[in-house]
A and B are shown apart, each in its own frame.
Chain A
Amino acid sequence: KAGVTQTPRYLIKTRGQQVTLSCSPISGHRSVSWYQQTPGQGLQFLFEYFSETQRNKGNFPGRFSGRQFSNSRSEMNVSTLELGDSALYLCASRPSGRGAQHFGDGTRLSIL
């Protein structure tokens, strides 16, 4: 079974631009969560989607948004990029019920 796939692996943007990251979950997983990982703040929860609905949201500004499609694939969008948005963005999928989250390789976003 294929794992969680995140694209692209690397991304370089400049301040003020916007970016869209993509995540394809493990087949059959309906829950997708997003995390931001930085050296200073560590791993922080962004949001979680289940059946195309946002169920949980972390403490991030409205510039961070996401969505989930009917095939459970998810996208995360960051608008008006700031230098502090430079981070590794990790996506995880989870089966229904009480399963553990399984992570993708992440997208490394660098803001110049």
Chain B
Amino acid sequence: AQTVTQSQPEMSVQEAETVTLSCTYDTSESDYYLFWYKQPPSRQMILVIRQEAYKQQNATENRFSVNFQKAAKSFSLKISDSQLGDAAMYFCARGSEKLVFGKGTKLTVNP
């Protein structure tokens, strides 16, 4: 089975600090996408960032950046200058039309 693994069920960070969420995946495809989604208690899944596997350059969206290691099948998310509004469940996902999700990491931001 092609899986996505998030090894950290919960993480916490102080406001204004930096935190990194880990994700590893398994795939036999050569061309695929990777995503990080955020799900606050309001339950809507919000796209945070995406990475195309054929691109070597790591994606960046404002305070959010990824460390994509294709050979190691690793895709971590770094959140810089953490804000209270960043508190949520974060899901790593792989795919395109059909997304395979990890179990999620619950991020708490402490004031």
Write the residues of chain A forming the contact surface with B, with a CB cutoff of 8 angstroms: 31, 33, 35, 42-43, 45, 48, 50, 55-56, 58, 88, 90, 92, 94, 98, 100-106, 108
Cα distance, A43 to B98, chains bound together (Å) = 11
Q: Which listed residue, B44, B52, B99, B104, touches A35 by the CB 8 Å rule?
A: B99
Cα distance A51–B93 when bound, in Å?
24
Pair B96/A98 contact, Cβ less than 8 Å: yes
A98 contacts across to B, CB distance below 8 A: 33, 52, 96
Q: Which secondary structure dominates chain B's binding surface?
A: strand
For the complex, is B30 an interface residue (Cβ under 8 Å from A)? no
How many cross-chain pairs have Cβ atoms below 8 Å apart between A and B? Answer: 51
Task: Tell me how many residues of B have a C-beta within 8 Å of chain A.
Answer: 22
- Do A106 and B99 touch across chains, with their CB atoms under 8 A apart? no
Interchain CB contact (< 8 A) of A106 among B44, B50, B97: B44
Contacts beyond the supplied A45-B98, A105-B43: 14 A-B pairs with Cβ under 8 Å? A33-B98, A35-B99, A42-B101, A42-B104, A45-B99, A48-B97, A50-B97, A56-B97, A88-B43, A94-B97, A100-B47, A103-B37, A105-B42, A106-B43
Q: In the complex the two chains form, what is the Cα distance from A56 to B97 in whole Å? A: 8
In the complex the two chains form, is A103's CB within 8 Å of B98's CB?
no
